[in-house]
Structure 1
Amino acid sequence: MSMGKKILIIGPSWVGDMVMAQSLFILLKQQDPDNQIDVLAPAWSRPLLARMPQVRQAVDMPVGHGSLMWSARRQIGRALKAEGYDQAILLPNSFKSALIPLFAGIPVRTGWKGEFRYGLVNDIRLLDEARYPLMVQRFDALAYPAGAPLPEKLPVPDLHAEAARVPQLRAQFGLDGTQKILALCPGAEFGPAKRWPERHYAAVAAHKLAQGWQVWLLGSEKDRAVAENIIAALPQAQRQRCHNLAGVTKLEDAIDLLSVCDAVVSNDSGLMHISAALNRPLVVVYGSTSPGFTPPLNEQVAILSIPVDCGPCFQRECPLGHMKCLNDLLPEQVISALEKLVPGHEQAVL
């Protein structure tokens, strides 16, 4: 009888990447339900990991992903040694991410070659980018022996929201419980070259508000001004049904609120991946990046982009200054995609 393995995952540092990592956690549990999965990751990810039932516990990583801090990593590793992990799976490809599993004395340390990791990673893999074009495939391949084929259909992330919290959150933020909800996620931590113009978001919001919907704008404190500009671009009569929640909700609040939204429009961002993992009808607008590497893993999704000679450039800011890839992606295209995902027309609100 299998007792399962005790596995420490060295998690990624971005929201979207952590969501996609749930596919790996699901695979490990499918291989053996007795596998115990702990995830070493930044403290901000705790609410996200708490909504992944495959994860036994989150272990806070107090060292920033850009810092070496050798002694701190050694101290963390020594503290983890008592857990007796059988295997570590390293999702980042950095030298630094391989130190703690070594210091923890974990016998099998699995990861891609990365930077200067020979010896640190003793189950080392050489990445064939053509074979694994998607990030989720690269994560999931680490659940198998080197060279083993992946399943034809990989598990998709599946966050379990806490529905019981939603009434309290509605009351806390003054949100209506009767109208359909369009969530807008207009921010992108990566940079402005991933952000669809505010005027385009406002046009989509105005269309759904005219159909009797309400609009929730979600994001971090950095996105609050962007959300305010979207609301300010609306007719005065519509603004009371448009709620700026950017910067006032915690990550766990955003997850639980998104779980009850009827549709989501988002840039390529962490909240986009969360919405996909909650299986919300989702329209994603792509600018400087491409869905060819980190697409939303959800069947109820419309991915919109327009071909431009200069893209995808994968730059944080438009090198040419015209943002053609986003400016020319019109609100009518997003509205049309929304209507196909969530059919039906409500009575207009005058």
Structure 2
Amino acid sequence: MTTSDPILLVGFPAVGDFIRCHSAVQIIAQRFPGRPIDVVTSPVAAPLARMMPHVRKGWALAKRHRQLGFEERRRLVGELRKENYRTAYLMTSTTKAALMTFMAGIPERIGYPQELQFGLLNRFPAGWLGHLWAFGPRKTRIFEEVCSIASLGESPAAEAQWPAPRLVVDPAELDDWRKNQKIDAARPALSLYTAGVDDFRSWPVERFVSIARTYHERGWAIWIIGGARERAGAAQIRAAIPEAVDFTSTPSIDDAMRQIAASTMFLGVDGGISHAAAALNVPCALIYGLNRPYVHGPVNSHVRFLEPPLSTPSWVEDTRGVSEGRVLEALAGLSAEIRS
């Protein structure tokens, strides 16, 4: 292999999980600075590839529920062969992903053989056998898994640490978006991500309304981010605060990233959009319930997590144990950091 041979990274299909793969991209780019890096993910997440430093190109592979998707994978294999990739890092441990890179003729295929893909994968991170026997609930964070694959199991030096994911929106695109939307760049904006109102990850909408009203009265713009699942929550927020801007009919994920990047602060719950906000370096207050933030949350340093206290009664199985007061306190702390 030469210092210019291209590398393929096969990422996860979900937006949040794919964003976490950018930590692996950064590790690979540091190890092989002259080699181009391309990524494979779902059509939903693929537009994010162009916002990831060190990524040359993103390939989209449609996700097939309960289907093997042979025709789609055959088409992509043909395209991958033309690129002459010499190394593939497989973040996802599925046999289908390993078979795809094998059929594409990529000689070095690195990943965890979680589905016993010996032969389809031919290089494993250190400690792979212990990982293979870690059945049951996930024993490590996805962040740690993707970094281990990219570094072949080598832990960072004592004075270093694995990099957090990063997304970058082109400043010129952001300026054009503000002009088209008639956004006053001098006015602070609080973005809200509610998830679906019936989603176990969501926070009661009336509490979002209360927080939004407080910041609206302070002169902040209120933006509601998301898609079809968030529209019911957006309607309730706008019914209470008509001046709030509903972006849940956004036509593309690119626009959603511009909306978040233009925000002053972000308040949300567990979800891919929240990972995007953290990777875009927007100060975030994120509310978690059953899914614990250490395992499922972003690793970026400017994120404040809010969880139900340990004393919460066992029947409270969602985010209701997080009070409005704690959220306001977290947002106030983030505001202070922004001003300092």
**Are 1:115 and 2:110 an aligned pair?**
no
Report the equivalent of 2:225.
218
Distance 2:46 2:185 in 1: 28
Q: Please point out which of 144, 148, 163 is paired with 2:151.
A: 144
Q: 1:157 aligns with which of 144, 161, 165?
A: 165
Partner residue of 1:314? none
TM-aligned CA deviation for residue 167 of structure 1: 3.8
Counterparts in 2 of 1:117-266, with a 5 A limit? Answer: 117-124=117-124, 125-126=128-129, 128=131, 133-145=140-152, 147-151=153-157, 152-187=160-195, 192-232=199-239, 234=240, 238-240=241-243, 242-266=244-268
Which structure 2 segments of 5+ residues have no match? none
Look up the equivalent residue of 2:320 and give its one-letter code. N
TM-score scaled to structure 2, two decimals? 0.88
Q: Which amino acid is 1:327 matched to?
A: R
Percent pairwise identity:
26
Which whole-Å CA distance do the structure 2 matches of 1:144 and 1:299 have between them?
22
Give the secondary structure class of the aligned counterpart of 2:294.
coil
Superposed CA offset, 1:19-62 (max 9, x none): 11111111111112112111122222232111113111112213
Provide the TM-score with structure 1 as the length reference. Answer: 0.85
Aligned length: 330
Shift of 1:340: 0.8
Query: Matches of 2:279 and 2:294 in 1, distance apart?
Result: 18
Secondary structure in 2 matching 1:343: helix
When residues 72 and 170 of structure 1 are mapped into structure 2, their CA distance, relative to the original with a 3 A threshold, is closer
Task: Report the CA distance between 1:309 and its aligned residue.
Answer: 7.8
- Deviation track 1:101-130 (CA, whole Å, cap 9, x = no partner) reads 011111111111222422221224335469
Matched-pair contact (CA < 8 Å) for 2:269–2:287: yes
Contact 2:77–2:104, Cα closer than 8 Å, also in 1: yes
Change beyond 3 A, Cα 1:103–1:324: closer
Counterparts of 2:208 and 2:10, CA distance in 1: 36
Please tell me whether the aligned partners of residues 21 and 139 of structure 1 are also in contact (alpha carbons under 8 angstroms): yes
Query: Residue type of the partner of 2:112?
Result: W
RMSD over aligned Cα atoms: 2.8
CA displacement, residues 235-264 of structure 1 (integer Å, 9 cap, x when unaligned): xxx422x10101224211111221121111
How far did 1:267 drift? 0.5
Q: Is the contact made by 1:221 and 1:248 (CA closer than 8 Å) also made in structure 2?
A: no
Question: Which residue of the partner structure matches residue 3 of structure 1?
Answer: 3
Structure 1 residue ranges without an equivalent (≥5): 312-319
